[in-house]
Amino acid sequence: MIIFAWPWLLLLLPLPLLVYWLPKKDNNRTSAALIMPQLIESSSINVISQSNKKAPLVILSLCWLLSVLALSQPQWLGDAIDIPTEGREMMIAVDLSGSMQIEDMSLRGSAVNRLDMLKVVLGDFIERRVGDRLGLILFADDAYMQTPMTFDRKTVKQMLDESVLGLVGRKTAIGDAIALAVKRFDAKQKSNKVLLLLTDGQNTAGKISPEQALELAVAKDITIYSIGIGADVMLQESLFGTRRVNPSSELDEQTLTKLAEQTGGKYFRARDSQGMSQIYQLLDQLEPIEQDQQQMRPLSALFYCPLALALLISVLYFLIINISTFSRK
């Protein structure tokens, strides 16, 4: 919407009319008290007046209107934008090891692998974290920073959706993922530092063990929430018929629990998409979203539009006068 910084200046709009309607005094003096410079030759005025006596009045009135509008400082008031307040830094570390391709999850009635389920449910969680700075780490054989700390939740979610299995290897480097998160947390930010660690296995790669990474996290006062992904039972077809297997037999729940408890966090077990959603809802309670959000509405100055239009009309008016005068001559 358009607003005016100085709307009271719009009261000047009828001023020319007041001057025009003022009673004129009889002046019999042969010479004027104030001599005004004549910018336009009388012959040109006669030409304009003969063609259209009202044109100069209309043009001058329009220029006056545009000038007053420019003086009143018109501004465009944009839509409200949330200003991030001091919340928390949350790093999300996602396991892309080979076991994440196991299709033991169900999503909207269809069997999907663990990564596809995680993208949907974790994506909803990311969208809710208004006011938090989020980062994304992908790890398998090594850990890589996919998205540095940012308030742009849309980009974080997009990078998560674009992640694919095998991108960074087939093994699981949990220790490297934690160490990278500790390194990338902004030491200057005085906020809660939270690491959300999602994995379906145990540490089988990397240069840093989970125990060494845990010491770094404790020293930097980082809270780790670990989530173990995978169903307990899965039906598997074979030559000898259908058999029940445990697809999460390699999940190291003991280490994940230790990482969480010693940093003041908590370990969760996600056996299906519904359980994963409940975990994220609980995380919203443990690490509440900043409620006192501030908003701003950007202002864009528009005074130059009527001012430029008034200048353009004036220039065209004088050009037309001069051209008409020269053509008469």
Q: In the chain, what percentage of residues exceed pLDDT 90?
A: 36
24-38, 82-96, 155-169, 180-194: which range is least confident on average? 24-38
pLDDT, residue 209, reads: 94
Q: Residue 188 pLDDT more than 70?
A: no
CA distances from 1 to 9, 31, 77, 79 (A): 19, 53, 5, 9
The pLDDT, as a whole number, for residue 203 is 94
The 10s digit of each residue's pLDDT in 89-148 is 899 999 999 999 998 888 887 888 999 999 999 999 999 888 788 999 999 999 999 999
For residue 268, give every residue at least 6 positions away whose Cβ sits within 8 Å of its Cβ, in sequence order, or none.
Answer: 225, 226, 227, 228, 279, 282
- Write the class of the CATH domain 86-286: alpha beta
Where in the chain are the domains? 2-23+37-78+298-328, 86-286
Please tell me which residue, 177 or 41, carries the higher pLDDT value: 177
DSSP structure string for 210-250: HHHHHHHHHHTT-EEEEEEE--S-EEEEETTEEEEE-TTTT
- Please report which confidence band the pLDDT of residue 181 belongs to, taking 50, 70 and 90 as the band edges: very high
Instruction: Report the SS3 class of residue 125.
Output: helix
Model confidence at 41: pLDDT above 60: no
Mean pLDDT, rounded, of the chain: 82
Mean pLDDT confidence for 234-263: 82
pLDDT in tens, 285-317: 888 766 555 667 777 888 888 888 988 988 888
d(CA 264, CA 282): 15
